[in-house]
Structure 1
Amino acid sequence: MAKPPTNLYERNELFQKNLQCFPEYIKQQIRKVDLDEVGKWVDIVYTEEGYPICKYKKDGKVKHINSRNPWEQAKNWCNQLPLNQMSTLFVYGCGFGYPLIELLKRVHEDTVVVVFEQNLPIFIAMLHYFDLEPIFRAHNKCIFFLGPFEEFSHYFQNLISTYGLLYLTVPSVLFTPSSRLFKKEYLNIQSHVFERLTQQITAFGNDHYDSLLGLHNMIQNAEIVLENPYLSSLKDKFTNVPAFIVANGPSLDQNMHELKRVKGKGLILCCESAIVPLMKNGIKPDAICVLERTPESYLYHFQNKKYPEDITLLALAVADPRTFASFAGPKVPIFRSFESTSEWINRIVGDGSGLYAGLNVSHLAYELAVYMGANPIVFVGQNFAYGLDGLTHSKQSKYTEDVQEYIEKVKSLPIVYVEGNEDSFVPSNPLWVEFRKGLERLIEQTSHVTVINATEGGAKIKGTTCDTLTNVIEKYCKASLPYRLDTLLNESKKNLDISTRKNKIKSLRIELIKYMDIYRALNQLTSERKIIVEQLLEKDKYGAGQELRQEFEQNNKHIMKFLHRHVHDQFFQQVIMFGYHQMNELGVINTPEKLRYALQIQMELFDNLCVICKSLIRNFQIAVEKLPLEETTSNE
């Protein structure tokens, strides 16, 4: 590599050139840093050979980022790494360039390299001394994240929310030599990174039947959607109104009585299972929020129940159809955003309005409160932790009375201790931790909202302030609601043109039939690819693998058709994720032997995709048959 520039003009020119190699979000981060201040943190001295080495100054101490022979140090570090076995690298620290450059010179062109650099002054200094453009041109699968996790979490989430996640399931973790000087910072980043990866992979789901159940429920609920107001009718209708999200945690029994003072002065949004203790205590929420699609949701909380007509049902459109049919009050079926099947049906019978909705009903309730413009948003009974004597829910809930098998299932989970609101640590479990962290991400994304945790005890929820329910009610529940939620929705329903809306059923039928043809074509594709690969593997048992490589790459292109935005990818993404995970475990696929293994994995993947296509063809036909017959209207 050419020796770095020695004068200020050349360094500034090189900095500007390097800056163009990075995406806009990196440029924005760097532009926020006063370049004149970098010198206060970084000293650059030169080796006898004329290469720059970096010293970092902080709190009166100097940290040496490089050794006196930086290239030798970088080469020795790389020599220890089995790079051919690593398909994805998570690299912590740039090391002022030397280890990063040496690494990128050695890795295979297909290796994905994700670099985390927590120190912006060191990174900016590096851009002034090394020409990175040739390196990045030769290896274009390099992704950077700068600063502490909080500063790049949004961009990292964007990465793993795409199908780029397919290539990140088996990351090899590399700490550059100088990263030991910032051990605490990098371990913190790594903890957050792997936590997010785990959550995102979990969000992919793992149950084809569950996805089919959601499809059939939405098809059966299509008429309910058309007969009732859309979610958009609630947009900002309760601006700056306090909203109380009531969960079914064990602490609910302690302060539930206070909620009677909220009625008419704040919105009470009840997380589904909390409706039982609330109604037993004479507390009518403004709405019941329902997330689940399973029959148990209906059987536990709606079967043979007569709720007052001034309570609203805010339920996902995937909910059991009997839930909507049994409910007397206003109803708003809600479509999920970022879920292909839900968005597809929403485009046909809805108006496009939807919510992410998360993994837990508290996530849905929180998003609803934000969508309606509520502020502050107050959590009640949101423990995410065990109560006294190992209680999991309110003593008055359905679970503690009649559904003991559910409680036993929860209690069978491993115990983990988390930071508490009132105690240093409280017992929880991995499922509740996952739900809590999902809620914390939603809160992080809505910094304009004041979020208060009025739960008695329980786990600390990041992004909230703690206060007693009594204090919150006295402070925020002073004025009456501008109108009741049920009144708003009943008035909205009066203005609906139901007959015109129901014409959308015809469009839904046409779309279902169209996609049956699409999945027949994709099913044919899987059969053809399997035959091609089988013949090739038989023919080229001992060959050099050039043809194997071509078909391997062709297969990858064909597999991506099952993740196209016009296909219902939620049915395919689980098996594709598993197939790519198996291929990632092979490391860099750069030998004929590895190519044969990879092609065999692809054949199994095509088998699974074939099964799913046949299932969808059959189930879409059933869905067509479930739709109401088209009504003929007369002009006479």
Structure 2
Amino acid sequence: MQENYQIIKNKNPYLCSLLNSTSINNINYEQSKHGDTILVAEYNQKKIYLNSKYNPKKEARTRIEQVNVNSPTIFQVGIGYGYEFEELYRNKKKNAFIIIIEPNPSILAAALNSNYNLQDLFNDNRVLIISGSKIQINEQLHEVKKHFPFSKEIELFVNHYAFTLYEQSNLKELIELIKTTIIARYTSAGNDIKDTLIGIRHMFTNSPHFPYSKNIEELQKYYKGMPIVCVASGPSLDKNINELYNIQEHVLIFCADTSYEKLLNYSIIPDAVSTTERMKKVYDLFYKNKTFHPNTVLFAEGLVYPEILSEFPNAKAITFRSTKYVENRFGEFFKSTNIEDVGSSCAHMSFAMAKRLKSDPIILLGQDLAYSEEGYSHANSTYMEGKTIEEAKQNVEYTIAYDGVSKVKTHATWNLFRNWFEEQISQTPNRIINATEGGAFIHGAEHISLKETVERYISSNKKRSFIEDMGKLEPGSTNEDMKNFADFIDFQLSNFEEIEKLLKKIDRKIEIIHDIVSIKKNVLKQDLAKRILKQCIQYMDQVWEYDHFRSIVVPIILQLNQHGHDINVISTRKEIIKYYEFLWGKVRQLLQLMPILREEYKRGKAVILNQLNNNVDNNDFFIEETMEEIYE
């Protein structure tokens, strides 16, 4: 049915394209004995019923009774004709997400072509549909995970026919993929609203620079299929520094800001230096009073410490993380910026920008993500030179070493960084080479020496001038973009007013609960308190419907999710008190946050209007020491 396809096109264009090229092979429609349409698959010359051939709706109800419909995120593997999905949708919590994964596009196409009941359900923004091979599912999960709630609590429902129709090993891999995606989403949330507020303030302060950023995607015509070396500052970098010097005239070099000075000391001129941090310390360490070679470009997140962008003398490519809702929304207003999944480190940024250029191969160097045999964490002549396991103050973990056999010492943060690389590598058809010659094994990459990599993939031709190519790019953003951004800020300010009204309602109702439960041995009053508490939760659900605000206060949502219980199973006075007191504390934290947010967004609008009025002298830089004013 065309309406179903249009909905999917809006949500997941990749899937829509896949379905348009899918023929419904070996999938037939039949009538159940109860008169309902069902799907039947031909598999190994046998009929596999994807729904009950007797009473599919009743069977669907029975199956969904076994599912925890109170979970904030529900994955359903196998859609069949859609009866289980309809039942799941009817019973889920209002703000819960349902992610349907159907590995066989023909089954999904058959359901879409015939089941008219799916249209309204698919229209819900909290319903996502994914289909295809393992690689295709991985790519789609990566694209849609930014819509998932920030919670590790998930419910997985596997439709009965999946156990027959799909190989068990493939199902197991799919389940592991779902787990990895949820963990990546959860860990990307951060753990401090203060960090988010710093980032927002920095983005507003930095916004006059955004129209002058360079969108390097336009340079693919020069660099697609060309090798790029991404240099980090792991201890193994010392092994290859001389080889890197010898090839610098023939290959682009993108480096983390932690390794830039070391490379200069070895007379190696990086084509780009990457930075992601918002803290003043990073500016002080790597940018303040530093000299940058005129041929080096800056790759910087839009939320970096403002004086980095203000003082860096050369061309800049400003990025916004596609995986962070607030950053993504800011970046959408400026066509000259780069919206990418740039991970969590400078090394990730370099890799992401090489990937944006469609480089092939991308060569990782100094990407140890593990301690050296001597126990050091970073290369010599970097700011972390000499740091050891003992000084890291992190629990030592073990992972597979570069040789693919032995084990090497690492820690949880490096493991997260490595997991990001592995996820990215699984989504790109381009060749990724880990030429670090030490540290951790990165799955999906080829592990060969830099010398061998040079012999195979790096020609003797002189490389293009990256700084000159950047200079050819015209700014893509306009005054109209700035005006639209100002309108967006106005819209959020209006939303903040509505959110504050809801929070004040909740606050007043919790005061009533407080008065009620103060009277001991009054069971009737406790039932009333429980009913009012349900109303408070309904109001909180309305607060979370404001996507922009929800993304700002993710740490509080995580705390509520971790602490919360199903209100329906709370019965004792003690449980009610524990529940409402915790909720009350978080509501009052949010109420304290509201005036700070309003002032920040008003300041952001003033920065934009100054820019529109050609008043570009924006010296209102945010100094870290003034953080006392920011809500924690």
Mapped partners of 1:90, 1:315: distance in 2:
36
Match of 2:554 in 1: 573
Relative to structure 1, is the Cα distance of residues 624 and 38 closer, same or farther in structure 2, using a 3 angstrom cutoff? Answer: closer
Contact kept, 8 Å, 1:245 with 1:377, in 2: the verdict is yes
**Is 1:531 matched up with 2:516?**
no
Relative to structure 1, is the Cα distance of residues 138 and 78 closer, same or farther in structure 2, using a 3 angstrom cutoff? Answer: same
Which one is further off, 369-378 or 274-283? 369-378
Relative to structure 1, is the Cα distance of residues 153 and 511 closer, same or farther in structure 2, using a 3 angstrom cutoff? Answer: closer
Mapped partners of 2:110, 2:614: distance in 1:
70
Q: 2:155 aligns with which of 164, 172, 183?
A: 172
CA-to-partner distance for each residue in 1:357-397, whole Å, 9 max, x for gaps? 22122221123224445443222222333332333222332
Task: Name the amino acid aligned to 1:362.
Answer: A
Match of 1:312 in 2: 297
CA-to-partner distance for each residue in 1:236-290, whole Å, 9 max, x for gaps? 1742443211111222111121112222322111111122432332222122111
Match of 1:606 in 2: 587
Q: 1:417 aligns with which of 399, 417, 421?
A: 399
Contact kept, 8 Å, 1:243 with 1:267, in 2: the verdict is yes
Match of 1:5 in 2: none
Mapped partners of 1:306, 1:456: distance in 2:
30
In structure 2, stretches of 5+ residues that fail to align are 517-524, 617-632
Contact kept, 8 Å, 1:90 with 1:173, in 2: the verdict is yes
Match of 2:320 in 1: 336
Which one is further off, 177-186 or 356-365? 177-186
Q: 1:297 aligns with which of 264, 282, 286?
A: 282
Mapped partners of 1:21, 1:587: distance in 2:
38
Q: 2:422 aligns with which of 410, 425, 440?
A: 440
Relative to structure 1, is the Cα distance of residues 595 and 179 closer, same or farther in structure 2, using a 3 angstrom cutoff? Answer: farther
Mapped partners of 1:18, 1:320: distance in 2:
46
Q: Secondary structure at the match of 2:385?
A: helix
Task: Name the amino acid aligned to 1:332.
Answer: K
**Is 1:429 matched up with 2:414?**
no
Q: Secondary structure at the match of 1:201?
A: helix
Match of 2:219 in 1: 236
Mapped partners of 2:579, 2:234: distance in 1:
48
**Is 1:390 matched up with 2:375?**
yes
Task: Name the amino acid aligned to 1:390.
Answer: G
Mapped partners of 1:294, 1:347: distance in 2:
24
C-alpha displacement at 1:193, in angstroms? 0.7
Relative to structure 1, is the Cα distance of residues 133 and 492 closer, same or farther in structure 2, using a 3 angstrom cutoff? Answer: closer
Mapped partners of 1:200, 1:175: distance in 2:
22
Mapped partners of 2:434, 2:448: distance in 1:
6
C-alpha displacement at 1:324, in angstroms? 4.4
CA-to-partner distance for each residue in 1:30-76, whole Å, 9 max, x for gaps? 7766655579xxxx9x99xxx99999967x999999999999x9799
Q: 1:464 aligns with which of 402, 427, 445?
A: 445
In structure 1, stretches of 5+ residues that fail to align are 1-15
Relative to structure 1, is the Cα distance of residues 444 and 174 closer, same or farther in structure 2, using a 3 angstrom cutoff? Answer: closer
Mapped partners of 1:193, 1:519: distance in 2:
34
C-alpha displacement at 1:200, in angstroms? 0.9
Mapped partners of 1:415, 1:268: distance in 2:
31
Contact kept, 8 Å, 1:250 with 1:391, in 2: the verdict is yes
Relative to structure 1, is the Cα distance of residues 601 and 412 closer, same or farther in structure 2, using a 3 angstrom cutoff? Answer: closer
Task: Name the amino acid aligned to 2:368.
Answer: N
CA-to-partner distance for each residue in 1:521-543, whole Å, 9 max, x for gaps? 64344224432564589787535
Relative to structure 1, is the Cα distance of residues 548 and 505 closer, same or farther in structure 2, using a 3 angstrom cutoff? Answer: closer
Match of 2:630 in 1: none
Mapped partners of 2:302, 2:484: distance in 1:
18
Task: Name the amino acid aligned to 1:465.
Answer: E
Contact kept, 8 Å, 1:148 with 1:189, in 2: the verdict is no
Relative to structure 1, is the Cα distance of residues 381 and 196 closer, same or farther in structure 2, using a 3 angstrom cutoff? Answer: same
Q: 1:200 aligns with which of 170, 174, 185?
A: 185
Match of 2:265 in 1: 280
Relative to structure 1, is the Cα distance of residues 160 and 590 closer, same or farther in structure 2, using a 3 angstrom cutoff? Answer: farther
**Is 1:586 matched up with 2:569?**
no
Q: Secondary structure at the match of 1:313?
A: strand
Q: Secondary structure at the match of 2:255?
A: strand
**Is 1:399 matched up with 2:384?**
yes
Contact kept, 8 Å, 1:244 with 1:379, in 2: the verdict is yes
Mapped partners of 2:482, 2:2: distance in 1:
56
Relative to structure 1, is the Cα distance of residues 19 and 262 closer, same or farther in structure 2, using a 3 angstrom cutoff? Answer: same
Match of 1:381 in 2: 366
Task: Name the amino acid aligned to 1:160.
Answer: K
Contact kept, 8 Å, 1:264 with 1:484, in 2: the verdict is no
Q: Secondary structure at the match of 2:295?
A: coil
Task: Name the amino acid aligned to 1:586.
Answer: D
Relative to structure 1, is the Cα distance of residues 183 and 370 closer, same or farther in structure 2, using a 3 angstrom cutoff? Answer: closer
Relative to structure 1, is the Cα distance of residues 588 and 418 closer, same or farther in structure 2, using a 3 angstrom cutoff? Answer: farther
Contact kept, 8 Å, 1:222 with 1:349, in 2: the verdict is no
Alignment of 1:28-427 (within 5 A): 81=66, 83=68, 89-91=74-76, 100=84, 114=99, 116=101, 118=103, 145-146=130-131, 149-162=134-147, 164-165=148-149, 169-174=152-157, 182-222=167-207, 225=209, 229-232=212-215, 235-236=218-219, 238-240=222-224, 241-324=226-309, 327=312, 329-332=313-316, 334-338=318-322, 339=324, 342=327, 351-372=336-357, 374-401=359-386, 408=390, 410=392, 412-418=394-400, 420-423=402-405, 426-427=408-409
CA-to-partner distance for each residue in 1:120-163, whole Å, 9 max, x for gaps? 78x589979xx97779989998766555543322333444311x
C-alpha displacement at 1:415, in angstroms? 0.8
Relative to structure 1, is the Cα distance of residues 88 and 366 closer, same or farther in structure 2, using a 3 angstrom cutoff? Answer: closer
Q: 2:464 aligns with which of 482, 503, 525?
A: 482
**How much identity, in percent, do the aligned residues show?**
17
Mapped partners of 2:17, 2:604: distance in 1:
49
Mapped partners of 1:510, 1:18: distance in 2:
32
Task: Name the amino acid aligned to 1:230.
Answer: S
Mapped partners of 2:578, 2:119: distance in 1:
30
Mapped partners of 2:567, 2:176: distance in 1:
23
Contact kept, 8 Å, 1:18 with 1:133, in 2: the verdict is no
C-alpha displacement at 1:179, in angstroms? 6.5
Contact kept, 8 Å, 2:299 with 2:319, in 1: the verdict is no
Mapped partners of 2:6, 2:570: distance in 1:
27
Contact kept, 8 Å, 1:452 with 1:465, in 2: the verdict is yes
* Corresponding pairs, count: 589
Mapped partners of 2:7, 2:321: distance in 1:
30
Contact kept, 8 Å, 1:384 with 1:459, in 2: the verdict is yes
Structural RMSD (CA):
5.6
Q: Secondary structure at the match of 2:545?
A: helix
Alignment of 1:485-504 (within 5 A): 485=467, 487-488=468-469
Mapped partners of 1:452, 1:126: distance in 2:
41
Task: Name the amino acid aligned to 2:557.
Answer: I
Q: Secondary structure at the match of 1:236?
A: helix
Match of 2:629 in 1: none
